[in-house]
Chains A and B, each alone.
Chain A
Amino acid sequence: MIAPAQGGLRVTAVDSLAAGEGIVPGLPIADARALLPYLAVREADPCADAEALARLAGWCGRYSPLVALDGADGLLLDITGCAHLFGGEDILLADLTRRLTGFGLTLRAALADTPAAAWAWAHAGPGGVLPVGVARQALAPLPVAALRLPDGMAAALGRLGLRRIGDLMDLPRAPLTARFGDAVARRLDLVLGRASEPIAPLHQPAPFRRQLAFAEPIGTRGDIDRALEHLLDGLLVDLDQAGQGLRRCEFSVFTVDGGVQRIGIGTARPSRERRHVLRLFAERLEEIDPGFGIEVMTLEAPVAEILPAQQAALEGGPATGEAELARLVDRLQQRLGRHAVVRLEPVDSHIPERAVTLVPALAPPSHRPWMVEQPRPLRLLPSPELIEVTAMVPDDPPLTFRWRTVLHRVAQTEGPERLSPEWWRDRPGTRLRDYYWVEDLEGRRYWLYREGAYGEPRAPRWYMHGLF
């Protein structure tokens, strides 16, 4: 792999064969070609690499919810409390290595007490599980570069003869800090677990989470349904004990071929109703493509809210109007989209299109009535439509108008109602509007307006805005 760098193209990554011939990252391409004329060269694509790494991070969610990216080519998993699910740390690491190798990836994996020690063990050591309590002895022979020191510092230490981590461990700290700042001492602390290092997980772990791993991959819809029900039962028990109800719920399936598929549902009110949640998921379970089989499933409730324990109504029994309404809203939103189920709410503005806003269907009511001084149309066109108008005198109400190619003869009109722009909100130059209520000969009623006035440099224009 090559990429443009200082002084031309340089090698950024090599495979094991090229490495065996002495090609190392950082080498200019010309030198590499001189060493190995038949070297196969590809251009590096860091964006695609990053995407692939992020996908891989998603896949690693099967082992632990806490997965963080580490540099451009590393992943960090916090498996605290997860190892026993796989039969122990050794087995977990072996499983991870086997699967990733199966995907055709080359990797070095290590497991240790601290993220820094695991990094050192993976990059400079032999990898594998670093047993508890022996980190000090095991890490001592590793080169100081394994501490991930800032650029040049490893070389500077090397000039002093400090080449191994063990050399640093026994030194008094004061002179070390005086010479190199606190970076060296701090990195050493992190590796040895004397200081803690937080990791920044890609996905914040959900407060409620259940996981199910299958001995044999599953694939049929019936199996998926049953597994989901099982997960949900567990999740609902957790929620119930915490006195919480879920607002969002995410179902993830990990397939054999390394893919992750997620479907999510949302509820308008905190819920612990099994039947309701299953029904919401049922709408979307068809989207899941099990491929060659599903190995692991997780069900998470990333957003939960307080829902006090209550005497649950018998399932399928008569429900109260409000609860029933909330369930209906959830179902409608699940299928039609979040913004498809709304209600109107008045806004203080005299500009017609600003007098209304849409709010979620179950938003608490403000109990404000519509402010209506003059009659308003029942329907408002989202964008006013230009019409051709004839009038006796320019300032008069229209006699005829042509809208959507149909000529309307006006029988009676009322108006104008003059609406000035809101100077605190509209751009300068916004023109005032004169609204007319117009009825044509057939009795169809319209709300038209003239934008601007005669005598201005720009001629006024007429628009259709509402229908009664």
Chain B
Amino acid sequence: MRVSATNLFKLRHHLGALAIGGAALFERLVLSDPVLDASLPWGGLPRGSIHQLEGVPGDTSVLSFAAGLTSRCAGPDGRALWLRLRRDRQETGEPYGPGLARYSLPPDRLMLVEARAIPDLLWALEEGLRCTGFSVALAEGISPDLTASRRLQLAAEASGVTALLVSPGPVRTRSVALTRWRVTAAPSARGVHRPRWQVELLHCRGGKPGSWIMEWDDAALGFAVVPALASRALAQAV
């Protein structure tokens, strides 16, 4: 019997949903690059679930990648919730409006929340995930353990709000996040104003890990994968 690609995709999709106990199929979010979307088993990033992003110490690129992802999740008229720890203010700076403009996050659709301690942040995140007024909730500076991540996942599933959990360094705890990414800076080949990220998909439920160099596409307001060969050739040419 010949199994068509669509059927296989549907089956995977279904199994993915069953694997974490949710009855509904995930609505997916297209990251706008066909190469990237095709390498995720859902054909994009599933909404209504939690995703982890980690950086490396001394490199805040993961935050700009997360901002791009937040913008994709929010779309043209969704609201975003951005949670931070107060003590990170000076360390990583505060979200800066004019810089957010590039990722198409207008001022009236982004709510900023500052917590003093991690338990408060987790509580606020869970409250936010239960509120259908948001499309996406981004939390900086946390990597919840299994129990906490399960709570968050259940809240996200019920409301359909996507949660992005950003950790400044490597994540050491296990969680139920569907995907885990490591983002570092990559030298830009086309000038300072065309940032690039080295993006590694470390963990993906039902999918294979991968690694890409990505750029932010200002016109499409989405991610674009830079072909590995081209990036090297260009980098050498510059």
- Please, how many angstroms separate the alpha-carbon atoms of A383 and B97 in the complex? 16
Question: Per a CB cutoff under 8 Å, which of B58, B63, B132 touches A321?
Answer: B132
A443/B187 contact (C-beta < 8 A), A378-B63, A438-B192 known: yes
Contacts of B134 in A (CB 8 A): 325
Q: How many residues of A contact B (CB 8 A)?
A: 55
B100 contacts the other chain (Cβ, under 8 Å)? yes
Spot the interface stretch: A73-81, A134-142, A224-232, A343-351: A343-351
**Which of B116, B127, B191, B195 lies in contact with A332, CB distance below 8 A?**
B127
| Most-contacted residue by chain B among A367, A369, A378, A383 (CB, 10 A) | A378
In the complex, whether A371 has a CB less than 8 A from a CB of chain B is yes
Q: Are A379 and B63 in contact (CB under 8 A)?
A: yes
A467-B60 contact given A378-B99, A378-B100, A379-B92, CB 8 Å threshold: yes
B114 cross-chain contacts in A, Cβ below 8 A: 336, 340, 342
Question: What residues of chain A lie closer than 8 Å to B97, measured between beta carbons?
Answer: 344-346, 355-356, 370
How far, in Å, is A359 (CB) from chain B's closest CB? Answer: 9
Chain B: which residue is nearest A412 at the CB level? B192
Q: Are A328 and B93 in contact (CB under 8 A)?
A: no
Which listed residue, B106, B120, B131, touches A336 by the CB 8 Å rule? B120
| A207 at interface by CB-CB < 8 Å | no
Which single member of A332, A344, A382 contacts B89 (CB below 8 Å)? A382
B178 an interface residue at 8 Å Cβ cutoff? no
A440 (CB) vs chain B CBs: closest residue: B185
Indicate which residue in A361, A369, A442 contacts B111 across the interface (CB closer than 8 Å).
A361
Question: Hey, which chain A residues are within 8 Å of B167, CB to CB?
Answer: none
Q: Given the interface contacts A328-B128, A376-B96, A468-B99, does A443 sit within 8 Å of B191 by beta carbon?
A: no
Closest B residue to A355 by beta carbon equals: B98
- From residue 98 to 118 of chain B, which have CB atoms closer than 8 A to chain A? 98-103, 106-108, 110-116
Interface of B is mostly: mixed
Q: Quick check: A442 and B185 within 8 Å, CB to CB?
A: yes
Q: A259 CA to B64 CA in the complex, in Å?
A: 52
Residues from chain A with a CB closer than 8 A to the CB of B92 are: 379, 467
Q: Which residue of A lies closest to B59 (CB)?
A: A444
A383 neighbours in B (Cβ, 8 Å): 90
Q: Which residues of B contact A412 (CB under 8 A)?
A: 188, 191-192
Q: Which residues of A contact B120 (CB under 8 A)?
A: 335-336
Name A163-190 residues within 8 Å CB distance of B: none
Interface size class of B (residues with CB under 8 A): 35 or more
> B228 on the interface (CB 8 Å rule)?
no
* A358: B residues at CB distance < 8 A: 112
With a CB–CB cut-off of 8 A, which chain A residues contact B131? 324-325, 328
In contact, B95 and A443 (Cβ under 8 angstroms): no
Nearest residue, chain B, Cβ from A339: B114
Cβ–Cβ contact B192 & A414, under 8 A:
yes
B187 touches A336 (CB 8 A): no
A443-B79 Cα distance, complex, nearest whole Å: 31
Instruction: Encode contact with B along A15-54: 1 for CB under 8 Å, 0 otherwise.
Output: 0000000000000000000000000000000000000000
Does A269 count as interface, using CB distance less than 8 angstroms? no
Which chain A residues in 43-88 approach chain B with CB under 8 Å? none
- B197 nearest in chain A by CB position: A443
Is A441's beta carbon under 8 Å from chain B? yes
B113 engages A341 (CB within 8 Å): yes
Identify which of residues 365-389 in chain A touch chain B, using a CB-to-CB cut-off of 8 Å: 365-372, 375-383
For the complex, is B204 an interface residue (Cβ under 8 Å from A)?
Answer: no
- CB pair B96–A437 under 8 Å, yes or no, is no
Contacts of B59 in A (CB 8 A): 442, 444
- Please name all residues of chain A whose beta carbon is closer than 8 Å to the beta carbon of B128 when the two chains form the complex: 328, 332
The yes or no answer to B50 lying at the interface (CB within 8 A) is no
Contact B99 A406 (CB under 8 A): no
A379-B107 in contact (CB<8A): no
One of A328, A329, A365, A445 near B108 (C-beta < 8 A)? A365
Contact B98 A372 (CB under 8 A): yes
Instruction: State how many angstroms separate the Cβ of B104 from the closest Cβ of chain A.
Output: 10
Are B99 and A445 interface neighbours, CB within 8 A?
no
- Contacting residues of chain B (118-140) with chain A, CB-CB under 8 angstroms: 120, 123-124, 127-128, 131-134
A352-B96, A444-B185 are known; give 19 further A-B pairs, CB within 8 A. Answer: A324-B131, A324-B132, A336-B120, A342-B111, A343-B108, A343-B111, A344-B97, A346-B107, A361-B112, A370-B100, A377-B99, A378-B64, A379-B93, A379-B99, A381-B94, A382-B94, A441-B187, A466-B93, A468-B64
Q: Which 3 residue pairs are nearest across A and B when measured between Cβ atoms?
A: A379-B93, A365-B108, A443-B185
Residues of A with Cβ closer than 8 Å to B? Answer: 321-322, 324-325, 328-329, 331-332, 335-336, 340-346, 352, 355-356, 358, 361, 365-372, 375-383, 406, 411-414, 437-439, 441-445, 466-468
What are some 29 contacts across the A-B interface (CB < 8 A)? A325-B79, A328-B128, A328-B133, A332-B113, A332-B124, A340-B115, A342-B112, A344-B107, A344-B112, A352-B96, A356-B98, A361-B112, A370-B106, A372-B98, A377-B99, A379-B63, A379-B95, A380-B99, A406-B58, A414-B191, A414-B192, A443-B184, A443-B187, A443-B196, A444-B60, A444-B185, A466-B99, A468-B99, A468-B195
